[in-house]
Structure formats: C-alpha cells, structure tokens
Amino acid sequence: MNNIPTVTRNLLIINVVVFIATYLMQMIGADLNSILGLHFILAPDFQPYQLLTYMFAHGGWSHIFFNMFALWMFGCIVERTWGARKFLFYYIACGIGAGLFQEVAQMVQFYLLAAEHIQGFTLSQTMLVAKASAMLINAWTTVGASGAIYGILLAFGMLYPEERLFIFPLPVPIKAKWFVLIYAAIELFMAFSTTGDGVAHLAHLGGMVVGFFLIRYWRRHPDINYNRRSGQQFFDSLRSAWERRSHRSAPGNDRQRWDYGHTTGCTAQRPETDAEYNERKRWEQERTDAILDKIRRSGYDSLSNDEKQWLFDKSRK
C-alpha cells in the first residue's frame, strides 16, 4: 500500500470506507446511497453536493471491486506522470462531468416517457409532471466512480498510446489506444441500445469526454500549475496568450529568438550558419527530452518555472 501514490491511495481508502459504512447502515435500515447518490435533478431528493459525493458510493461488491481495481491499475501510473494535484483535479472533474452527462440523459429519458404516456405533453408541463411523479423519479439514483475511472482509462491511453496491455480473455496484448477506443465504442453502443441494463453508460462516456478536452487543453497550456494559485494562473495564461497573439499580429514585431553574435543599437542580427542551427536544434531536443523524463519520474509539479515555460514555448511552435 505504501507504493501507491498519495491521491490514488486515499481515493481507494475513501471509497472502501464509504462502501463499508453503507453496508453497515443498511443493517439498521438506513440508506446511505440515497443521501450520497446523484438523484435526478427534478427529483425532491436532489442536492447539488451529490455531483461530488455520488462517485464515492457504490451499489455492490462487484461494482466497487472492478472500479477500485481499475483505479489502482491505471491511477497509479497517471498520478506518477502528472503529480498529485493535477491528478486529483482531473479525477474530480471527470466525475462531476460524468454526473452532468447523466443528468442530461435522465432529462431526455423523462421527456420521452412523459411524451409517451401523456397526450399533448409540452416542455411547459415538465415541472407539473415531475411533481406528480416524485416517487418515481426519486428512484433514479446514480452511484459509482465509473465516470472518473473511465476518464483515467482515457488519460492512460492518451499518455501511453503504444503501451501493450494483456486484457482477459484476449489471447494477445492490445495497445492502450485501441483498448480505450474499444471501451468507448462499447459504451456508446450500450448507451443507445434498447435493452436497458441499469448502467449509466452515458455517464461513463461523459467522464471520457471531459477527460479528453482537459488533456487537450493541458497539452496546449503546459505551464498551468494546480496549486492554491491555479485559478489566478489560469486567467493569467489566457491573458498572456491573448497578448502574445496581439503582439505577433502587429506589424514590425517579428523578433529573432536566438542571438549568437553582438548587436549594436537596432542593427539586424547576423543569420545562423547551418552548424549553429543544427547545434541549437540538438540542444533544444536534449533539454526537452530531459524535462519529459523528469515528468515521467516525478510528475509535472516537480518542474521548475523555467522548465514549465520551456515546454509551454515549445508546444506553441
């Protein structure tokens, strides 16, 4: 257990503790999942905090076992790659995003059921029908960390797309990128099937969708830090990006980044020779590789500000 990174270990502990507490409270007639689980937004028991708490509740032994197994298997690798703060932010964001996707799916389901059973049903009657159906829609409760877990699966596939995995019952290893795509395709198919198995497939897809856009955003903005000042840094990065674009678009603002000779006043710098160009490119690649190795060993948060700025600058070229 000591070899498991901090956030992954604590998430495992919290989920198991909540599950055991839920099981014990059922023995005295209390339903903890009804309190922590995510209710349909029009249901009387819906509370905004459930968008966070639902991902720590589970519906059965197999449910929590497979979720926690996947969290341990892939979460350890992703957390070591990103660092604790970034990994925790990603996990919570994917879980909340999955919950929002589930709410949208239930809203569509509610509308279709109402339109099917009530002649002339319109959107203006939604609240009246919801109030009359309170007992029914109160039972639409979602629990489980699956949305966040699917986000982690996606992260692993995007970080290590060529890594080969042995997945039972496949007789041969499969690359991580194909593993993720197959899982996404299965969830998409199940979400629109008419069988209805009680599984929140659209929530799983929601976790992957949120994770995909987060990772794409981070790749474009590698200088973002997930500490106490992350909110300010987020807006600072947006402002800096806008200023850089405006600066580059203005006439006469093209500047040469490398100076291998001396300049006098405003005279132009001499052009690089082929040897100087090749040496600069070699040095840049070596530094970039060293920074990426450091991320793999210790996570993104271990980088210095200069190293983060270097990756940021390289990503924009």
For residue 315 the two structure tokens come to 């990503």
- Tell whether pTM > 0.85: no
Residue 251 lies in a domain: no
Residue 264 lies in a domain: no
Please tell me whether residues 171 and 292 are part of one structural domain.
Answer: no
Report the distance separating Cα 204 and Cα 202, nearest Å.
5
- Residues in Cβ contact with 144 at an 8 Å cutoff, skipping those fewer than 6 apart: 54, 55, 57, 58, 59, 63, 67, 200
Domain-terminating residue out of 220, 241, 266: 220
Q: Residue 111's domain is classified under what CATH number?
A: 1.20.1540.10
Please tell me whether residues 20 and 145 are part of one structural domain.
Answer: yes
pLDDT at 231: 44
Confirm if 45 and 34 have CB atoms less than 8 A apart: yes
Instruction: State the total domains in the chain.
Output: 2
Residue 1 lies in a domain: no
Query: CA-CA-CA-CA torsion for 143, 112, 44, 105, nearest 10 degrees?
Result: 30
Please tell me whether residues 131 and 279 are part of one structural domain.
Answer: no
For residue 161 the two structure tokens come to 């797309």
Domain ranges, residue 312: 275-317
pLDDT tens for the chain, 317 residues: list them.
668 899 999 999 999 999 999 999 988 888 899 999 999 998 999 999 999 999 999 988 988 999 999 999 899 999 998 999 999 999 999 999 999 999 998 888 888 888 877 777 777 777 888 888 888 888 888 999 999 999 999 999 998 888 888 776 677 788 888 888 887 887 777 766 655 556 777 788 889 999 999 999 998 887 666 654 444 454 455 556 556 665 554 444 443 333 333 333 343 445 667 777 777 778 888 888 788 777 766 666 677 777 777 777 776 55
Please tell me whether residues 216 and 282 are part of one structural domain.
Answer: no
Give how far Cα 91 sits from Cα of 1, 102, 154, 232, 300, Å.
20, 17, 11, 21, 16
Please tell me whether residues 210 and 287 are part of one structural domain.
Answer: no
Please tell me whether residues 55 and 189 are part of one structural domain.
Answer: yes
Residue 258 lies in a domain: no
Domain-terminating residue out of 205, 220, 235: 220
